[in-house]
Structure 1
């Protein structure tokens, strides 16, 4: 796909809730002070993108019509005043748009806050890199920033084959933790392939796997990526006195008694905060630098759905996501 001229670009517009994306020619952005203009090569497709498109993502503060898409990988086209970390031609990636009124990544170009970006891993493809930022930052903020994961701990990840979960497993392993992950029987081979002990949540109760793997004491860290009843189960799985539960979907109403009676603690993760408030953007860039280090050290490999989509066929990707049929992260090839 080629741009029409040097001042316009192709972008997907979500005009109204539940309407399909429309491929439209729009004005190409320019890099303001502190920004980087990126030629987007690949864009990740997230569950939140679909919620915004269907009118169910109010917390993302992205009114329609809008260009959606949060994750990307691409090449620096130009840098704005004051940007010294990047130069034209650099390959970068990050969680940079699509919420808080910011232009998203379902477009050929984007002007993004330089603090949100990092150089992409040299050993990962653009597609692999574009799949990582939202999920990696969410996993890192929970495990490292909040729970202070370290060597020798026992970490339980609920949803170990999911978008956040599979990266959380790999982060915990990289820090030297013993990792356990819940999933369905069909997910067992993959979960074990990334180094976690598999727990079939349909076959074992919380009490059974806490007894089996921790002698009844509980896990040092429990990362809930699913919310609802799974978060309640997490409270009952935390280690007495020192356990810490983290959730990236702790938005419901929950009874804290099981957590309190174990003397454990809880943290919530809301990854969108920097883009909505403008606060903490630099830390997101720092986290992506850590992602690059882990990937280049061979300790982080994202799971990407093998199916290919372009801006012209992106509606198909959203249909797959909406019906829960993705196997790994769906990615749009913006530059074909």
Structure 2
């Protein structure tokens, strides 16, 4: 149970859209019913975090001023009434804050819904664990929950070296699928190191790689992690009748005729919904348990940018993210 002790903690807040982080001292939260107080060790940085900071993510419904940061890895400090799955000292991770009015993870402590957390992989560091939740849940919901990936299926991942993409490749491979991934020439070595076929989207048209790798039939599953024209390309790459296109970036206007003419299916993924609405939170924790299993079996390893950041330099991480010059997932070391 949480004690009555109240202390303060350091946190970063954004006071208004498109401003820089400000360090504040605030009261350490107390775990209520169904909640867990976590000492945050590391906070993963996602493109969406920066979009919220700059005022470009209304769909995240995060009113400002606010503590940002969605992903975390840390140590359970205390649990509230009704929490049976965690105890003080447990190492946990999850997609648990920073949107929908929830306190974010750029703070020394946070109180989070126990349903959103899972015990972190013993064989991954806090930094490695902290970058997984958002991208893993997004990839899993698309491939497993929506498209029902299975052994022998042909799977095309657009953006195979990206945040969601590189995790999606590893999930699909773990299910025994035949996996192909698009990317730029600079991504070739990394994508091939994951044991899948690299497709250079600069030099190969959709028709060319559909013909080359599927005899013109199309892929069983196409996961678009890029959006825009890539989603349109995904419609043209789906298998006739049984193909399933999934996208985590289904913004904008798209013509569905190319998909309809193939008799294929489309599903969208909106990973933030459980945190914003409160519905389906337990499933997020269940998905993170699957991530722990995959990592423990040596089938999941995140790609991390080697640069190091702290709460004092977290703004630099956001600036790098905004410029799109990352070499893997960015992490802020909180503790």
Q: TM-score range by the shorter chain?
A: over 0.9
Matches of residues 1-336 of structure 1 in structure 2 within 5 Å? Answer: 7-335=7-335
Whole-angstrom CA distance in 2 between matches of 1:160 and 1:20: 31
CA distance in 1, matches of 2:194, 2:311: 32
TM-score (structure 1 length as normaliser): 0.98
Alignment partners' CA distance in 1, 2:58 and 2:255: 25
Deviation at 1:7, TM superposition (A): 1.3
Structure 2: gaps spanning 5 or more residues: none
Number of aligned positions between the proteins = 331
Query: 1:63 deviation in Å?
Result: 1.1
Residues of 2 paired with 1:195 and 1:272: CA distance?
30
- CA distance in 2 between counterparts of 1:12 and 1:88 reads 25
In 2, are the aligned partners of 1:170 and 1:195 still within 8 Å (CA)? no
**Whole-Å separation in 2 of the counterparts to 1:6 and 1:32:** 14
Partner Cα separation in structure 1 for residue 61 and residue 229 of structure 2: 27
Q: Distance in 2 between matches of 1:310 and 1:204?
A: 41
Deviations, residues 179-205 of structure 1 (Å, cap 9, x unaligned): 000000010000000121000000000
Pairwise CA distance, 1:18: 1.1
Measure how far apart 1:333 and its partner are.
0.2
- SS of corresponding position for 2:192: helix
TM-score by length of 2: 0.98
Measure the CA separation in 2 of the matches of 1:60 and 1:21: 18
In structure 2, C-alpha distance between the alignment counterparts of 1:195 and 1:54, rounded to whole Å:
37
Q: Is the 8 A contact 1:139 1:168 kept in 2?
A: yes
1:120 deviation in Å?
0.0
| 2:172 aligned counterpart, secondary structure | helix
Q: SS of the counterpart of 1:18?
A: coil
CA displacement 1:82-120 (0-9 Å, x = unmatched): 000000000000000000000000000000000000000
Given that 2:6 and 2:27 are in contact with CA atoms closer than 8 Å, whether structure 1 keeps it comes out as no
